Amino acid sequence: MDFNDTPEEAAFRKEVRTWLEANATRKSDDKQSFRARNDDPELLKKAKEWQDKKARAGYARITWPKEFGGRGASPILQVIYQQEEANFLVPLGFFDIGLGMCIPTMMAYAKPEQLQRYVKPALHGQEVWCQLFSEPAAGSDVAGIRTRAERDGDDWVINGQKVWTSGAHYCDYGIVITRTDPNVPKHAGLTMFFLDMKTPGVEVRPIKQISGGANFNEVFFTDVRIPDSQRLGKVGEGWKAALTTLMNERLAVGLPSGGLDIDELMELARDTDLEDGPAIRNQQVRGKIAEWYVQQQGLKLTRYRTLTALSKGQTPGPESSIIKIVAAPKMQDMGAFAMELMGHAGIMKEDVPHAAGFQAQWIGGAGFRIAGGTDEILRNIVAERVLGLPADIRVDKDIPFNQLGKKG
């Protein structure tokens, strides 16, 4: 066992590092980052510039085929790039969904001339893409969507509402899953399209979250007319296309970064005076620190196991499926615990340690446990795909969508 690069990996790392040193500013410490407020137009502009620079140097999508501006290289080189980039102060996060999910779906279903038109601007950060899947009545059960698309000559007319669409307020294009046939069971009546977010009838309204931020949106469709040429996959095969999108979810191998963790908690415990002395000497506090340290290490090392498989050209095992199940409640619970150490003042969002970062993590953790697969859905996935336990009974699977919920 060792943590060393292969010669090929080491050479690539050196090349990447040299390029980054010449083109970006190294972080002064690990925790430094652009504030993750993706509703800031200045930040978006900077992110677009950085993405263009990366794309020109061939680092924007290392695993993509050369014809689309990638290098046709192994995922491990993509990981190496991300590891190195994480040491530099650059704005990230705006293009993950577009390049990680939307464009790969386009590659699977769009026509060659459409790919010619859309891939390059997306890769260079000139056009940003979003994914319009979730709806008010379809969260974990996303195949239960109600947004309708009806055929009208060579066009389709879309009516309905999407929700939790990340970045819709600054996105140029989106892929949207719609119901085209309500007379068949829910998975069979879906069709996928892509569209210009400026198409008449598309209205984006940011959602203010309990954290106070507004990174997500509601998107309303009122008689939105798009040509049949923007269909992705066959009519009625939208679920298959949606699975393509979901399977392309960003390779979850980047190291978690930026958040407050054990080091900051220990610092807080050293500075907190409890009845029996500094909190760091209290056995309950020490027990908690140890448990979270074991989780933090466990997640990091689990990623290393995944990376090892990738580095050897193998398919990683299912171990990375545990990451969010552990990381999300840890974020919430550690936040709450750190706040408790501050006493009554733990409720304050100013004049408390780490610029109220623990408070932010306590609030944010509540959302993190839901976003991108709830704690419960992720446990179902582990139980079914890893342990081979039966899928949940689906009482709706053979019933036409428009008969659901009606008394039989």
Partner 1 sequence: MRAGLLGSGIMNFDFSDDQKLLKEQVRKFLADKCPTKVVRRVLDGNETHADEVWKGLVDLGVPGIGIPEEYGGSGLSPLEVCVVAEEIGRAAAPVPFDTSVVLATEALKLAGSEAQKKKWLTDLASGKAIGTLAIAEGPQPPKPRNIRTTFGGGRLNGKKVPVTDGEAATFAIALANTGGAGDRAVSLVLVDLKQAAVTKKRVETIDPARKHAELTFKDASAELLGGEGEGWRLLERLYDAAAVYFAFAQVGGAEAAMWMARDYALQRQAFGRAIGSYQAIKHKLADCYVKLELARSNAYYGAMMLTEGGADLALAAAAARIAATEAYDFAAKENIQTHGGIGFTWEADTQFHYRRSRLMALSIGGPMAWKDKLVTRLEQKNAA
Q: How many residues bind partner 1 (CB under 8 A)?
A: 60
Beta strands in 294-346 (DSSP E): none
Compute the distance between CA of residue 262 and CA of residue 272 in angstroms, rounded to an integer.
Answer: 15
Compute the distance between CA of residue 203 and CA of residue 168 in angstroms, rounded to an integer.
Answer: 10
| By the rule CB under 8 A, 322 interacts with partner 1 | yes
Q: Do 174 and 152 form a contact (C-beta atoms < 8 A)?
A: no
Q: How far is the CB of 271 from partner 1 (least distance, A)?
A: 14
| By the rule CB under 8 A, 408 interacts with partner 1 | no
Report the sign of the C-alpha dihedral through residues 272, 275, 281, 286, in that order.
Answer: negative
| By the rule CB under 8 A, 384 interacts with partner 1 | yes
Q: Which tokens go with 170? A: 């600054």
Interface pattern 59-98 for partner 1 (x via CB under 8 A): -----------------x--xx--x--xx-----------
Compute the distance between CA of residue 175 and CA of residue 103 in angstroms, rounded to an integer.
Answer: 9
| By the rule CB under 8 A, 266 interacts with partner 1 | yes
Q: Which lies closer to partner 1 via its Cβ, residue 118 or residue 337?
A: 337
Q: How far is the CB of 324 from partner 1 (least distance, A)?
A: 10
Compute the distance between CA of residue 298 and CA of residue 236 in angstroms, rounded to an integer.
Answer: 43
Nearest to 148 by CA among 92, 84, 221: 221
Q: Which lies closer to partner 1 via its Cβ, residue 197 or residue 334?
A: 334
| By the rule CB under 8 A, 370 interacts with partner 1 | no
SS3 state of residue 102: helix
Which of the following is catalytic: 218, 249, 267, 319? 249
| By the rule CB under 8 A, 389 interacts with partner 1 | yes
Q: Rounded to 5 degrees, what angle do the CA atoms 210, 216, 220 make?
A: 120
Q: How far is the CB of 296 from partner 1 (least distance, A)?
A: 9
Q: How far is the CB of 217 from partner 1 (least distance, A)?
A: 31
Continuous segment of H or E residues that includes residue 131: strand 129-132
Q: Do 178 and 147 form a contact (C-beta atoms < 8 A)?
A: yes
Distance of CA 21 to the CA centre of its chain: 27
Compute the distance between CA of residue 266 and CA of residue 338 in angstroms, rounded to an integer.
Answer: 10
Task: Note if 249 is an active site residue.
Answer: yes
In this chain, which of 255, 348, 355, 404 binds partner 1, going by CB under 8 A? 255
In this chain, which of 147, 191, 230, 295 binds partner 1, going by CB under 8 A? 295
User: In the window 98-157, what residues touch partner 1 (CB under 8 A)?
Assistant: none
Compute the distance between CA of residue 338 and CA of residue 153 in angstroms, rounded to an integer.
Answer: 60
| By the rule CB under 8 A, 395 interacts with partner 1 | no
Residues interacting with partner 1, by CB under 8 A?
Answer: 1-6, 9, 13, 76, 79-80, 83, 86-87, 255, 262-263, 266, 280, 283, 286-287, 289-291, 293-295, 297-302, 304-305, 307-309, 311-312, 319, 322, 325-326, 376, 378-380, 382-384, 386-393
Q: What residues are annotated to the active site?
A: 249
